[in-house]
């Protein structure tokens, strides 16, 4: 199949290119396709005539979005509407990646795809509006995949930031009362590739790695796993702190674990614990470091 990937330079975009190597892939990022421009999107889809569009592009600067509402909305909402419109015009299926931030975090059990959205940040609001635009315009040819806490061996992410800070400092303080699930970009890309191969997905799905963790738990795991493979060669004291001690412009959900049962059932997928995927990424980072060295 022919697949147009937007946001192809990002960590998920790069993982998707690898996961979809058996298909004809057209990778595009902002330098080759500005998805906020409806005419450009329509021309691209008309020329390529893909079977799928996978939108991995997003405005993900959660705190900056609070003061940059127009840009966040242009990328997370209006650009999705542009892509959906072009897909509707040319009978193309579309998979759009969304976020756990569409929820308010007041649940105490994992959120299902059917749960009501109630975002508490501009980022979450614009991502929810993007979902609505897609599902309204494309109906049964539209798939939304909500994910959370994405990271990989490429790009900027929590894992790489923690590793850098652990090299620089002897003590770190990390929020302990926001709970979700770390998710490797390669794992999410494998799921999306399965959706493409099935050619039957529609509606809303949730996917993260299995299990749950606070940011503090995640940081401690990064430390322990990095030490185990000699990616980090010093001791670091990691302290748990409440979110109120680390104020940010954007409010974040305190609990945003996602229920993945629909993916497990429809695509016969194994539940892989987030710590296993973390270990794989850290090994890849270690190998990169040795190659560069």
Average pLDDT over residues 47-73: 98
Residues ≥6 apart with Cβ < 8 Å to 176:
214, 215, 216, 217, 240, 241, 242
pTM score, whole prediction: 0.96
248 pLDDT more than 60: yes
Q: What is the DSSP string of 186-239?
A: HHHHHHHHHHHHHT---EEEE---BS-EEHHHHHHHHHHHHHHTTS--S--EEE
164 pLDDT more than 90: yes
DSSP state of 184: E
Determine the pLDDT at residue 266: 94
Average pLDDT over residues 62-67: 98
Determine the pLDDT at residue 288: 83
Q: By the 8 A CB rule, do 96 and 56 touch?
A: no
CA 251-256-257 angle, to 5 degrees, is 165
Question: How far, in Å, CA of 197 to CA of 191, rounded?
Answer: 10
230 pLDDT more than 90: yes
User: Does residue 123 carry a catalytic annotation?
Assistant: yes
CA 30 to chain centre: 18
Residues ≥6 apart with Cβ < 8 Å to 144:
95, 96, 98, 131, 134, 135, 203, 204, 205
- Name residue, tokens 């997370």: 76
Question: How far, in Å, CA of 73 to CA of 77, rounded?
Answer: 5
Average pLDDT over residues 112-125: 98
Catalytic entry in 26, 59, 111, 123? 123
Determine the pLDDT at residue 292: 55
293 pLDDT more than 60: no
* Tens-place pLDDT, residues 79-104: 999 999 999 999 999 999 999 999 99
Determine the pLDDT at residue 155: 87
Instruction: Give the ranges where the chain is alpha helix by DSSP (H).
Output: 11-19, 38-48, 69-73, 79-89, 122-138, 158-168, 185-198, 215-228, 261-267, 274-292
> Which residue in 228, 204, 238, 222 sits closest to 275, CA to CA?
222
Q: Which fold does the domain 2-153+183-209+257-273 belong to in CATH?
A: Rossmann fold (3.40.50)
Average pLDDT over residues 218-244: 97
Average pLDDT over residues 66-85: 98
pLDDT band at 291 (very low <50, low <70, confident <90, very high): low
Average pLDDT of the chain, as a whole number: 96
Strand partners, 151: 184
CA 92-140-138 angle, to 5 degrees, is 55
Question: How far, in Å, CA of 54 to CA of 65, rounded?
Answer: 23
For the chain, the structural domain boundaries read 2-153+183-209+257-273
Question: How far, in Å, CA of 160 to CA of 155, rounded?
Answer: 8
Q: Give me the percent of the chain exceeding a pLDDT of 70.
A: 99
Q: By the 8 A CB rule, do 254 and 243 touch?
A: yes
Average pLDDT over residues 201-223: 98
């Amino acid at each position: 199949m022919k697949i147009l990937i937007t946001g192809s330079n990002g960590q998920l975009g790069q993982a998707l290119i690898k996961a979809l190597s058996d298909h004809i892939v057209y990778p595009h990022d902002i330098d080759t396709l500005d998805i906020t421009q409806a005419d450009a999107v329509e021309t691209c889809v008309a020329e390529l005539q893909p079977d799928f569009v996978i939108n991995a592009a997003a405005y993900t600067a959660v705190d900056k979005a609070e003061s940059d509402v127009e840009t966040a909305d242009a990328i997370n909402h209006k650009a999705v509407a542009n892509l959906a419109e072009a897909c509707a015009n040319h009978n193309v299926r579309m998979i759009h990646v969304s976020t756990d931030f569409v929820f308010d975090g007041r649940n105490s059990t994992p959120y299902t795809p059917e749960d009501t959205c109630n975002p508490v940040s501009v980022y979450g609001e614009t991502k929810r509006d993007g979902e609505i635009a897609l599902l309204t315009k494309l109906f049964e040819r539209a798939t939304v995949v909500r994910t959370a806490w994405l990271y990989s061996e490429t790009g900027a992410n929590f894992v790489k930031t923690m590793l850098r800070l652990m090299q620089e400092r002897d003590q770190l303080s990390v929020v302990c009362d926001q709970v979700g699930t770390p998710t490797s970009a390669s794992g999410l890309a494998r799921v999306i590739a399965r959706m493409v191969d099935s050619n039957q997905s529609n509606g809303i799905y949730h996917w993260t790695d299995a299990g749950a963790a606070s940011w503090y738990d995640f940081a401690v795991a990064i430390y322990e796993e990095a030490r185990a493979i000699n990616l980090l060669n010093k001791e670091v004291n990691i302290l748990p702190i409440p979110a109120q001690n680390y104020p940010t412009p954007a409010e974040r959900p305190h609990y945003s674990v996602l229920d993945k049962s629909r993916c497990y059932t429809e695509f016969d997928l194994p539940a892989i614990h987030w710590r296993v995927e973390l270990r794989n990424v850290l090994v890849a980072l270690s190998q990169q470091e040795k190659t560069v060295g």
